[in-house]
Amino acid sequence: MSNSIIYSMNIITLHHYHSLLNEPMRISRGGLKSRHHLIIEISVNEVSGYGEAICSSDLLLNVTKSLDLSELTKIPLSDFDAFLKSYLDQIVYFEGLSVIRALFCALSAAALDCLARLDNLPFYKYISPSPQNASPLESYASNIYWKENPDEMNDDIKYLIDKGVKNIKAHVGVLEPEDELRRLDTLTAISNCSKFMLDFNCAYNENQAHSFISSSSHSNHDFYWLEELVRPDDLSAIVSLASLHGPKLAFGENHYGRQFNFLADQGVGFLMPDIGRSLFILD
């Protein structure tokens, strides 16, 4: 990363987008028929970086009305991430619990994206230069959403496989653990995946999560990871689950910084920072 040049931000711009979905997107906590996106743009010397605020855009817009974003442009861009970190120190973001944090995540990402562009580097290389012997990252598709008719989910999986996608994640947890497993056993297309992952979007309590994992050992399928079985702020449940099933668990979308040390210490197999929520990226 370049520290020899001090860049000053010229302007911070908010872009609000709203679009209707082709079909409802349903996860364990409910469904959506449309999506709102609030994109933060930070500009320096006609170069712009972008970050998305992952939260209710309406709430975010109300919050930004009470903030003087022009004051933030007085901070040198290279100090921006550290400034935000000193200003806000919350442990967990989850849904509407921290609108300010969602905004700061987007500001942080936009500032780093701008620095990366000024250095003519892809964003991922700027924030984490890969060692020469690093293994290539595997991508996966995560757009298999819960549907009332499991045959439709099976068709969605087949569609991705036919397109050459080998690793697929499905959103589950709408029903009780045993019912979800029965549905999953009917999804025959899973057997054609290289890796098949499950995202529960924090659907279950501790007992339900233990029940699902125990029962899944008798499933027709081997699930590569089980993501966010419980709420991210239910730390005692995470400790309990990790003590028995750590290597299969995935957490981190709603954690940041020191929380990843906690998750790693518990033996969680997959740490998953989300660039839109894991304040601050360079931690």
Q: 10 Å Cβ neighbour count for 185?
A: 14
Instruction: Identify the residue whose tokens are 């689950």.
Output: 241
Interatomic CA distance for residues 216 and 210, integer angstroms: 10
Sequence-ordered list of residues with C-beta below 8 angstroms from that of 194, at least 6 positions apart, any chain: 166, 167
- Determine the average pLDDT of the residues in 164-191: 96
Q: Which long-range contacts link 32-40 to residues 24+ away (Cβ below 8 Å)?
A: 38/14, 38/106, 39/14, 39/15, 39/106, 40/12, 40/13, 40/14, 40/15, 40/103, 40/106, 40/107, 40/109, 40/110
Sign of the Cα pseudo-torsion (209, 212, 214, 216, in order): negative
> Residue length, the chain?
283
Interatomic CA distance for residues 204 and 227, integer angstroms: 11
Question: Residue 182: its pLDDT value, please?
Answer: 95
Interatomic CA distance for residues 122 and 38, integer angstroms: 22
- The pLDDT mean for the chain works out to 85
pLDDT top residue among 274 and 261: 261
pLDDT in tens, 126-161: 877 666 666 666 889 999 999 999 999 999 999 999
Question: Residue 2: its pLDDT value, please?
Answer: 39
pLDDT in tens, 12-21: 888 888 889 8
Q: Tell me which of 81-85, 194-198, 214-218, 261-265 is least confident.
A: 81-85
Interatomic CA distance for residues 143 and 199, integer angstroms: 11
Sequence-ordered list of residues with C-beta below 8 angstroms from that of 264, at least 6 positions apart, any chain: 271
Instruction: Identify the residue whose tokens are 């930070």.
Output: 42
Q: Confidence class of residue 36 from pLDDT cuts 50, 70 and 90? A: confident
**pTM to 2 decimals?**
0.83
pLDDT top residue among 24 and 215: 215
List residues bridging with 37 in a β-sheet.
Answer: 17
